[in-house]
Amino acid sequence: MNLFNILGGIGDNLRHNLERGRWSASIDKIEQMAEMLGVHPVSVILAGYLASEEEAKSGELLERIRNELREIGL
């Protein structure tokens, strides 16, 4: 499932440019997309990252994030 196909409500121009990597989404837009999907904003960021990185694997990335948060005391 393509994240951008689900996000029909964000506007064709924004979606088109995000999809092609021409623009980056603001925190406000990420929160808007998350609300539309019913997910946490970090999930939208993670989905975008995973879609743009051919070798990225969600499990490995989540484990890295857990470790990094632990290292900074969160």
> Contact, 28 vs 36, CB < 8 A?
no
| 1 pLDDT more than 50 | no
Check residue 71 and give its pLDDT.
97
| 6 pLDDT more than 70 | no
Our CA angle for 31, 50, 47, nearest 5°, is 25
pLDDT tens-digit readout, 10-65: 566 666 666 666 667 789 988 988 888 899 999 888 887 777 777 778 888 889 99
What is the sign, positive or negative, of the torsion defined by CA atoms of 15, 27, 39, 53? positive
Whether pTM exceeds 0.85: no
> Contact, 3 vs 48, CB < 8 A?
yes
